[in-house]
Structure 1
Amino acid sequence: MLYRSAPPYAPAADRYSSMEYVRCGQSGLKLPPISLGLWHNFGSVDPYENARAMALRAFDLGITHFDLANNYGPEFGSAEATFGRILAEDLAPYRDELLISTKAGYRMMPGPYGEWGSRKYLLASLDQSLSRMGIDYVDIFYSHRYDPETPLAETMGALAHAVHAGKAIYTGISNYPPQATREAAALLEDMGAPLLIHQPKYSMLERAPEAELFGVLEDEGVGAIVFSPLAQGLLTDKYLDGIPEDSRAAKASGFLREDQVTDDVIGIVRALREIARERNQSMAQLALAWTRRRPEVTSTLIGASRAEQIEEAVAMLSQPPLAEDEIARIDAILA
């Protein structure tokens, strides 16, 4: 169903000419090195035309992967509804060129079946997500967080069922600790729906996956798509002169609070920005390039509030990778 009358969208003819896609673990699937997340700025409270412009510009630049979750908005579910509208109006002819992922795990519905990892919640949520987006299947269905009270076999069984039922092509997990990740991979292998990908939080200011998780993913042949590479905007120029009124920290949007914008963090970012300037990069481009230095990272997931930020992220891919001495300098600053 079309929502409005508009000239038909035609994607850029050269959208695949400069993007080098990365194999995800030991699967046959390749991901763009930069993927677009719809966590922020695609909800019912956000201007639709801006959301549409960002999604279409991303596709024009060769970004084929669009990452969602049931509770992205605000309000819950509205990012999926927005993306469903973009699909219906513009991207439906190119569905087979897209990788669409969604997740379930965090609070979505009232009552005892509205979050965590039960089979009932996960499969009901997936059906709701498909309905909101107006599609028959997603390419990746994730368990959004580890549930310590539900048997892992039940949670992984729900993901495998989604694949066998034709409602998802691949399985994924997000925010899982290393040992649970290893166990999840073994369960899914036995269930005939091998684990494709893990989505952990990873940035210059959040390096926990380096300690053990990346090693587990390499052992298991699982890809990684890292989120919050800019630490909710801390690893940009946004907070160097205070907290802007329209920023995530001022609004307590997402996971960033005002008390996290400390003098120590700002000092780190100022020092890192000098390296970025030497490389003729923005601070954001340096932070993205830093995540790309790890061979375990298949794709880096970005958010955006306008199309120009997506262009800036993709431009980073054509810049020289970080040299060993630059990585050493960055490590010294972060230490």
Structure 2
Amino acid sequence: MSSPYVTASDRYSQVPYERCGRSGLKLPRLSLGLWHNFGGVDVFENGRTMCRAAFDMGITHFDLANNYGPPPGSAEANFGKILDLDLGVYRDELIISTKAGYDMWEGPYGEWGSRKYLIASLDQSLDRLGLDYVDIFYSHRPDPDTPMEETMGALASIYHGGKALYIGLSNYDAAQTRLAHEILDDLGVPLLIHQPRYNLLDRWVEPELLPLLTELGVGCIPFSPLAQGQLTSRYLKTIPTDSRAGKGGFLNADTVEANHPKILALAEIAEQRGQTLAQMALTWVLRQPAITTVLIGASSVPQIEENVACASAAGFSDEELKAIDAACA
């Protein structure tokens, strides 16, 4: 029988922490997302090892959603097992988040932003996780057919009922975020954080959303900071058949091929800085004052270790930023 897990005594020495917006909550500069590699089709012990290693490195924030898997719900169920086996005794040192918004179960109440769906989904998530509450609960995407007042009202009920300590949004544009913030404020609910897609190859948040989050005092945790693995060494030469692009889905080979000249140019800049491409991509996202933390994914412990090294990286010179902008143009 294996020995009980005991976390590293120096776990708070590797990753700095940043206050999330104007709240009292501090988050590690890198957070671990369980979108991929933690589902029922994946090797449980690998996911378990990664979660333990991440916490040993000071990554206290673990991010989930109801539909993460596959199959949907299995990432939450597996993380619930990891809590039961290893991390549960450290619950008060953890930030655990989940979301609802995408397709989860059959019928008209299994997705989007109705009160019926959001509250039922969180109850199911809590059951899979084995928890009484999550630290952050997100509306995973805006619903074009449900009044914003209903969606935010459901989040307010969840917040006031103690099932989530904080409320967040994901994939909302600037105008939707401002409206959601106003409604939540009227309901006595602070908007803690926003989770948009943001990376060197996809900078849509810069003109409007990031300035708005700064204005409102809302934190920001970008997902896909490595552009689904494009901003790593994975695609520098070819497209591996076992990669996300090789398998198709969210990332396809055509996208990687179109971005390949940019990826090569960025890799050269990273090498000159003494970083891997992934490290530079994360450092670049974290340089933004509006960014609280960045959401990393991983398939192995060495990937987490590589990413954590960016937390102590040097900043960018003006020349480097100009070269990066030119490479991405």
- TM-score by length of structure 1 reads 0.97
Q: Give the number of equivalent residue pairs.
A: 329
Structure 2 residue 298 is matched with structure 1 residue 304: yes
Amino acid at match of 1:274: E
1:18 to 14, 17, 21: 14
CA distance in 1, matches of 2:174, 2:2: 48
Amino acid at match of 1:258: A
Amino acid at match of 1:99: I
Q: Which residue of 2 aligns with 1:179?
A: 175
CA distance in 1, matches of 2:287, 2:13: 22
1:259 to 246, 254, 264: 254
CA distance in 1, matches of 2:133, 2:144: 28
State whether residues 16 and 311 of structure 2, in contact with CA within 8 Å, keep that contact through their aligned partners in structure 1: no
Percent of residue pairs identical: 61
Structure 2 residue 73 is matched with structure 1 residue 52: no
**Which is further off, 273-282 or 103-112?**
273-282
State whether residues 38 and 69 of structure 2, in contact with CA within 8 Å, keep that contact through their aligned partners in structure 1: yes
1:148, CA displacement in angstroms? 1.2
CA distance in 2, matches of 1:224, 1:279: 26
Amino acid at match of 2:316: L
Q: Which runs of structure 1 show a deviation greater than 2 angstroms over 4 or more consecutive aligned residues?
A: none
1:219, CA displacement in angstroms? 1.2
1:257, CA displacement in angstroms? 1.2
CA distance in 2, matches of 1:285, 1:36: 15
1:6, CA displacement in angstroms? 3.4
1:319, CA displacement in angstroms? 1.8
1:160 aligns to what SS in structure 2?
Answer: helix
Residues 140-186 of structure 1: per-residue CA shift (max 9 Å, x gap): 00000011110101101111111111100000000001101001111
1:127 to 123, 126, 143: 123
Residues 193-225 of structure 1: per-residue CA shift (max 9 Å, x gap): 110000000000100000100111111110000
| Structure 1: segments with no counterpart, 5+ residues | none
1:34-49 alignment runs, 5 A limit:
34-49=30-45
CA distance in 1, matches of 2:32, 2:14: 17
| Structure 2: segments with no counterpart, 5+ residues | none
Q: Which residue of 2 aligns with 1:94?
A: 90
State whether residues 15 and 30 of structure 2, in contact with CA within 8 Å, keep that contact through their aligned partners in structure 1: no
1:321 to 305, 315, 325: 315
1:280, CA displacement in angstroms? 1.1
Residues 275-332 of structure 1: per-residue CA shift (max 9 Å, x gap): 1111111111011111011000101001000011111111111121222221111011
Structure 2 residue 216 is matched with structure 1 residue 225: no
CA distance in 2, matches of 1:29, 1:332: 36
1:87 aligns to what SS in structure 2?
Answer: helix
Amino acid at match of 1:221: G
Structure 2 residue 288 is matched with structure 1 residue 294: yes
1:17, CA displacement in angstroms? 2.0
1:209 aligns to what SS in structure 2?
Answer: coil
CA distance in 2, matches of 1:73, 1:325: 42
1:189 to 172, 185, 189: 185
Residues 49-73 of structure 1: per-residue CA shift (max 9 Å, x gap): 1000100000000000000000000
Amino acid at match of 1:47: V
1:67 to 52, 63, 67: 63
- TM-score by length of structure 2 reads 0.98
1:91 aligns to what SS in structure 2?
Answer: helix
CA distance in 1, matches of 2:307, 2:232: 12
Amino acid at match of 2:284: W
Residues 52-106 of structure 1: per-residue CA shift (max 9 Å, x gap): 0100000000000000000000000000000000000001110000000000000
CA distance in 2, matches of 1:251, 1:77: 22
Structure 2 residue 16 is matched with structure 1 residue 6: no
CA distance in 2, matches of 1:239, 1:281: 16
Q: Which residue of 1 aligns with 2:144?
A: 148
Structure 2 residue 265 is matched with structure 1 residue 271: yes
Relative to 1, partners in 2 of residues 1:13 and 1:195: Cα closer, same or farther, differing over 3 Å? Answer: same
2:312 aligns to what SS in structure 1?
Answer: coil
1:31 aligns to what SS in structure 2?
Answer: strand
